[in-house]
């Protein structure tokens, strides 16, 4: 059920992104950009509240944290399919280096998936935020590693 919710969110955001790009049928590259941007947007929407809990900016809610961690773990498996050849079109922060170094990019995405999965597992049984901070940091570092090399500022 939770996967269906995550997929529904991604589909809605994809549809909204496609409509926002204007009239006419989008190209496969434009669809790929909209897809990956939508997924990353949903990831950020779930990662942000967890970061707030880790930083002590919002109260820790174990159930909410676990749900968001599960979503991020699932969503982390989706963006790569949006990086099809020649999909650095339109408004995108993706650097050309992604396609020039696809094996390294895939390895970084797989690291993100692995670390996000570990966070989701840890969050299932954690009753205190301190138990989750180290793994949350690893997920954040996996994001940063990819962003530093492959995302425009």
Which residue positions form the known binding site for heme c? Answer: 143, 146-147
How far apart are alpha carbons 110 and 119 in whole angstroms?
Answer: 14
Nearest to 94 by CA among 12, 36, 24: 36
How far apart are alpha carbons 67 and 63 in whole angstroms?
Answer: 6
Estimate to the nearest angstrom the gap between the alpha carbon of 103 and the chain centroid.
Answer: 19
How far apart are alpha carbons 83 and 37 in whole angstroms?
Answer: 10
Residues annotated in a binding site: 143, 146-147
């Amino acid at each position: 059920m939770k996967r269906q919710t995550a997929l529904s969110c991604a589909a809605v955001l994809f549809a909204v992104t496609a409509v926002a790009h204007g009239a006419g049928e989008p190209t496969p590259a434009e669809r790929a950009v909209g897809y990956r941007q939508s997924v990353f947007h949903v990831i950020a929407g779930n990662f942000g509240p967890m970061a707030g809990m880790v930083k002590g900016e919002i109260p820790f809610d174990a159930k909410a944290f676990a749900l968001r961690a599960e979503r991020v773990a699932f969503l982390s498996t989706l963006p790569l399919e949006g990086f099809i050849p020649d999909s650095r079109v339109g408004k995108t922060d993706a650097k050309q280096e992604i396609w020039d170094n696809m094996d390294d990019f895939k390895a970084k995405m797989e690291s993100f998936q692995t670390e996000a999965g570990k966070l989701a597992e840890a969050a299932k049984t954690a009753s205190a935020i301190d138990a989750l901070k180290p793994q949350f940091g690893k997920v954040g570092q996996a994001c940063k590693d990819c962003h530093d090399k492959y995302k425009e500022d």
